[in-house]
Structure 1
Amino acid sequence: MPMQESKKMGVNWSFINIFRNIIRALKKAGISDDQIKTMTIDNPRRFLSGK
C-alpha cells in the first residue's frame, strides 16, 4: 500500500482507539471477553516471546 494511502487510513487512529472503539465493537458483535483477551494479551505475548 502506498504511504499516502496508509496515512489517509490512519488519520484518526490512536492506540486508545483499540479500547474505545474496537473492543467495544467486538463485544457488540458477540465476541467473548475470553476471546478478546486471547487477541489482545495472549497472542501478542506468544508472538513476542517467540513461542
Structure 2
Amino acid sequence: MTITAIIGTLLLLWVVWDLFNGSVWLHREFHRAQEPLAYWTTLLLWLAVAISCFFWEL
C-alpha cells in the first residue's frame, strides 16, 4: 500500500466522520445545520482530495 493510498483512506474516514458529526473544517469549522452550502461544498472538496489520492503515483 502506497503512502498516497494510506492518506486517501484516512481522508475518506475523515469525510465519513464529518458526515456523522455534522461539521467540517477548512479554514474554520462549518456546521451543517447553520451553513449547509458551505458545509457540503467543503465536504465535497475533502472528498475530491481523498479520491484523488488513489490516482497519484509516487
Same fold at TM > 0.5: no
Q: Larger C-alpha radius of gyration, 1 or 2?
A: 1
Structure that is richer in strand per residue: 2
TM-score by length of 2: 0.38
Name the structure, 1 or 2, with higher relative contact order (CA <8 Å, separation 6+): 2
Structure that is richer in helix per residue: 1
